[in-house]
Structure 1
Amino acid sequence: MHDPPKFPISSSSMSSCTASFCSTDMEEERYASKKRVTSDAQHDLRTDHTSVEKQSEEMENFGGFYPAARPPFTLAQLKDAIPKHCFHKNTGVSLLFFFKDVCMVAFLMSLASLLDTYTPLHYPLYWLLQGMLLFSTFLIGHDWRISHINHHQNHGHADKDEAWHPITEKLYRSMSHRQKLFRYSPLALLSFPIYLWTRTPGKTGSHFHPNSPLFKRIERKDVMISTACWVAMLLILLALCWLFGATWIVKLYLLPYLVSVAWLGGVTYLQHHGYKHKIPWYRGKEWSYIRGGLSTVDRDLGAVNGLMHSIGTHVVHHLFPQIPHYHLVEATKAIEPILGNYYREPEKSGALPLHLLRTLVTSLQEDHYVDDEGNVVFYKSGKS
């Protein structure tokens, strides 16, 4: 989610404990260039008579504002509105956040283990808190570094996006009842480990195989290191099971890990879906970097947002991923006046973002597929 010391791996979050830091800021290097920004700006400002008529027609169907209309501003204009210091990265600050998370994880694990000698009643609270913290450490490491870069390079593209991309109607109609039940229910929140092995419906490859279509030839070494780290972590867990028993590992690690996976699935899904918002997806000439970035959604996570490194402020993160997490809130406020209706104001949260459960369930029930063809598409329901 931000600029931190990155782990040189691309797969499971289990391996983050054993990976070393990588100083190369690959995310920024691979999808940000002046030439691309200029090209996006020119593309998004081009409007012909036909598209104006089309947008006018669509506006009537979307309550007066067509969310797929070409924005009247450029990426450069948005960047100019953001204070320059928001783009400044401080390695010391990033390391401080990292070590804070690691210390909190270690403290909670030690406390839970200590209290276990008195009563096991504290474990549900421990699983919830520790799961949130494990998700937080995952955000710093970006253990899926390479595939996450692909996501940023193709955000909002109906066919090329990597994370929670829409399913086409043809693929939806071919899915079995069991597949639909898993994909369109809260069970989908636990799908991250499956995604690492087999990716999502309609895509092939694995995060663990160096020859996967996900990776380029020059990335194969990183993938092999990633898989080796994952195997090493698995061996460590097996050794701990032998020393302390499987129950100890399940209580202290496995269940918090599943909670972190659920947080990952829920948060990332809601950042790119929203039945209420009518999120546009693009193909072909209609897709551009800025339009794809504007199809993301901010979510108010309440007090949890700070714990999770401001992950709720997702729009500005996609437009300018080089901004470190501790400046995302300020950067978002700076561009809101320019974004206007293109910014979907998040529903206010209490201390805990319980309101998002309703949003999540509604979207899973209604957002099923997009048309097989068309350069601007929206989710449709498969209930009919």
Structure 2
Amino acid sequence: MLHTSPTGNSIPPLRDTGNTSTTYSEDDLPEFSPMPWKLQEIRAAIPPHLFVRDTKRGLAWLAFDLLMAAVCWKIALYIDPSFKSPGAIRLLSPLGASIAQWACWLVYWWFQGLIFTGIWVIGHECGHGAFSDRQWVCDVIGFVVHTLLWTPYFSWRISHHRHHCNHASMERDEVYVPKTRSDLGIPPENGHKIDYDEYLGDTPIYTLFMLVRQQLLAFPAYLLWNVSGQKDYPKWTNHFDPNSILFTREQRHLVIMSNLGILFMIASVRFACNMWGAASVVKFYGIPWLCVTHWFIMITYLHHTDPELPHYRQPVWNFQRGAAATVDRNFLGWMGRFFLHDVAHYHVIHHFFPKMPFYHGAEATQYLKMFIGEHYHYSEKPVFQALWNNYNECQFVEDTGNVLFYRNRKGQAILRPAPQYREDADAVPASSEK
């Protein structure tokens, strides 16, 4: 299926990564050349009014999110009393009442998790300065909402900014940096057949376990131990050490402020557990927060991880090429657009212009697609299917070359660089001008 831009130009979606062919040859793969344009040329293709930030509009969205969270919370207060009442037990039987009770909790966790994630997205907007043209407004609101969701606002804002500045750079990106063949101890093929199952042949059950672990723990693990981050950083790199390599000397006081916010949350949760009981805190707040970490990791993983997305080494990397190495996805349909503020549907434009407010993302994306054409990536694949497929298909990249594509558990890719980008010595340097 081809997706059509406003000008009528057809834009191909991401390819199906399932390899059904019985034979595989690198020579048969489609070739890829990095995009040639400067950032100024791309920006000029987008109307200026789409870059305007409206503080009142941002505050209205935040207020609406908080109202939805409060309404859900209020409704959830009636779940246990209603289904534990004698009338409900007589009507539904003890087992039926219990099943209905936990079904209602599942509905609450689903929607409250999405609402909490939307609130986290507002904090993310603040971190980029996209919420308001007043930086102090962004920082106050971002600090509050991110702290309430266990994210060290200033510390994460700093490393996330560096991620945007260096996305898809093998040497300098902050997160989702691909493992190389040598990282996994896989020898080069050099004309010899490699038994990839020996290195990558995990059972489906083990793969599922590792995927679930990623979804629930990857964000805390990244903050605490730099998991999936830049491998050249020192061993104990984390977002809570003011002296971490992630921060400059001038940023240390911001890290301390973020840490104080997290300490406040620890004290607040402890107080809430003493006041209302740990079980209630987990049901009303803990599980929805766990859903935030799941949705956030799933969204960002699928934005930046796909067999069709390139990674670059320094001679050919530049900002706009890195920004284009992301993918928009139809994430949960209307729920993803409404509750998550289009964070997954229009992420490519966000990487090009992080200060553009989310409510302009849909319109701006149409102009971006018109200009960059086939370099714009979009996928209609159901996101849980994409998560499973990409987790299996995106295993490693090569140790050599300056334009790299993920290889799967059989060592196969779906794209290859154009000839001038295949070997380090032949690489064409990227323009340093944005």
Output the TM-score relative to the length of structure 1: 0.77
Residues 265 and 124 from structure 1, CA distance in 2 versus in 1: closer, same or farther, beyond 3 angstroms? same
Q: Give CA deviations for 1:219-275 in whole Å, capped at 9, x if unaligned.
A: 111111101100111110111101111100111111111111110110000001123
Q: Could you say which residue in structure 2 is the equivalent of 1:33? A: none
**In the alignment, which of 260, 268, 271 is matched to residue 236 of structure 1?**
268
Residues 328 and 61 from structure 1, CA distance in 2 versus in 1: closer, same or farther, beyond 3 angstroms? farther
Task: Tell me, in whole angstroms, the C-alpha distance in 1 between the residues paired with 2:394 and 2:209.
Answer: 11
User: What secondary structure does 1:279 align onto?
Assistant: coil
- The structure number with the bigger radius of gyration is 2
Q: List aligned pairs for 1:1-384, cutoff 5 A.
A: 61-63=28-30, 66=32, 69-119=33-83, 120-121=101-102, 122-142=104-124, 143=153, 144-173=156-185, 185-190=211-216, 191-201=218-228, 202=231, 203-204=233-234, 205-275=237-307, 278-301=308-331, 302-303=333-334, 304-311=336-343, 312-347=345-380, 355-383=382-410
Q: Is the 8 A contact 2:166 2:173 kept in 1?
A: yes
Q: Could you say which residue in structure 1 is the equivalent of 2:12? A: none
Task: Tell me, in whole angstroms, the C-alpha distance in 2 between the residues paired with 1:146 and 1:158.
Answer: 19
Residues 319 and 133 from structure 1, CA distance in 2 versus in 1: closer, same or farther, beyond 3 angstroms? same
Q: Is the 8 A contact 1:184 1:365 kept in 2?
A: no
Task: Tell me, in whole angstroms, the C-alpha distance in 2 between the residues paired with 1:97 and 1:73.
Answer: 35
User: What secondary structure does 1:284 align onto?
Assistant: coil
Q: Is the 8 A contact 1:366 1:380 kept in 2?
A: yes
Q: Could you say which residue in structure 1 is the equivalent of 2:418? A: none
Q: Is the 8 A contact 1:182 1:188 kept in 2?
A: no
Task: Tell me, in whole angstroms, the C-alpha distance in 1 between the residues paired with 2:27 and 2:380.
Answer: 24
Q: Which stretches in structure 2 are left out of the alignment for 5+ residues?
A: 1-24, 84-100, 125-152, 187-198, 412-434
Q: Is the 8 A contact 1:136 1:309 kept in 2?
A: yes
Letter in 1 for 2:313: R
Letter in 1 for 2:212: P
Letter in 2 for 1:76: Q
Residues 337 and 62 from structure 1, CA distance in 2 versus in 1: closer, same or farther, beyond 3 angstroms? farther
Task: Tell me, in whole angstroms, the C-alpha distance in 1 between the residues paired with 2:48 and 2:27.
Answer: 39
Residues 91 and 264 from structure 1, CA distance in 2 versus in 1: closer, same or farther, beyond 3 angstroms? same
Letter in 2 for 1:197: L
Residues 220 and 182 from structure 1, CA distance in 2 versus in 1: closer, same or farther, beyond 3 angstroms? farther
Residues 245 and 99 from structure 1, CA distance in 2 versus in 1: closer, same or farther, beyond 3 angstroms? same
Q: Give CA deviations for 1:161-203 in whole Å, capped at 9, x if unaligned.
A: 122221222223399989x958952321121111110012524
Aligned-residue CA RMSD (Å): 2.4
Task: Tell me, in whole angstroms, the C-alpha distance in 1 between the residues paired with 2:224 and 2:410.
Answer: 30
Residues 102 and 61 from structure 1, CA distance in 2 versus in 1: closer, same or farther, beyond 3 angstroms? farther
Task: Tell me, in whole angstroms, the C-alpha distance in 1 between the residues paired with 2:64 and 2:185.
Answer: 47
Residues 376 and 126 from structure 1, CA distance in 2 versus in 1: closer, same or farther, beyond 3 angstroms? same
Residues 334 and 185 from structure 1, CA distance in 2 versus in 1: closer, same or farther, beyond 3 angstroms? same
Task: Tell me, in whole angstroms, the C-alpha distance in 2 between the residues paired with 1:93 and 1:274.
Answer: 34
Q: Percent identity?
A: 32
Letter in 2 for 1:165: V
Residues 74 and 60 from structure 1, CA distance in 2 versus in 1: closer, same or farther, beyond 3 angstroms? farther
Residues 183 and 125 from structure 1, CA distance in 2 versus in 1: closer, same or farther, beyond 3 angstroms? closer
Q: Give CA deviations for 1:282-311 in whole Å, capped at 9, x if unaligned.
A: 011110001101111111121112321111
Task: Tell me, in whole angstroms, the C-alpha distance in 1 between the residues paired with 2:392 and 2:210.
Answer: 7
Letter in 2 for 1:274: D
Q: Which deviates further from its counterpart, 367-376 or 218-227? A: 367-376
Q: Is the 8 A contact 1:367 1:381 kept in 2?
A: yes
Task: Tell me, in whole angstroms, the C-alpha distance in 1 between the residues paired with 2:79 and 2:301.
Answer: 35
Output the TM-score relative to the length of structure 2: 0.68
Q: Which deviates further from its counterpart, 259-268 or 162-171? A: 162-171
Q: Is the 8 A contact 2:79 2:105 kept in 1?
A: no
Q: Which deviates further from its counterpart, 200-209 or 287-296? A: 200-209
